Amino acid sequence: DDQLRFEVRPPVHDGFSERRRRRQVETGGRRAVFMDVPNVATAYIRVSSRAEDHATQRSAIERAALARGDTIREWYAEKKSAKTMARAELQRLRDDARMGTLKTLYVFKLDRLVRSGVADTFAVIAELRKAGVTLIAVADNLTIVPDKEDVTSEVLVFALGLAARLERAAINDRIAAAR
């Protein structure tokens, strides 16, 4: 009877964040110790060229997740241009979101997720919101919560989506000029 019994319980609404789960450790019925169990999250990182690496994005996301009490469980990573939405890891992420396996998604910047225009940006975000996924764009200081309509966030998403599309056009112009 000297063994510890671990029990994971659903969130307790006692002033702690609803997202925070708690684990109660009981020792022979004499006392109980509560320990925080980190929330699990997912992250998507993307670089455009093979010469780049994911280290900067990964580090920033890990720091932001730690500050929010989250632990990154799975990383979706790819080295591919965002000029198209046809990217294997992005598609896998979207499929997983539709299946309900994602709850919190970290990206370094919104343009790492979508850079093909405002319509595609809004479509992906709407899809994530519908699936109940909270999207956190670390460098953009943007958090999109699925069940909360926020006009300010929508305006910011529009501006970031437009800026990403303009940057994509500038990249294309530089590439064409170099030929």
pLDDT tens per residue across span 114-128: 877 778 888 888 899
In contact, 58 and 74? CB cutoff 8 Å: no
Contact 147, 128 (CB under 8 A): no
Q: Residue 83 pLDDT > 90, yes or no?
A: no
With tokens 């809004």, the residue in question is 122
pTM > 0.85 = no
Nearest one of 107, 106, 121 to 165, comparing CA atoms: 121
pLDDT at 117: 73
Q: What is the pLDDT of residue 9?
A: 42
| Short-list 117, 48, 116, CA closest to 80 | 48
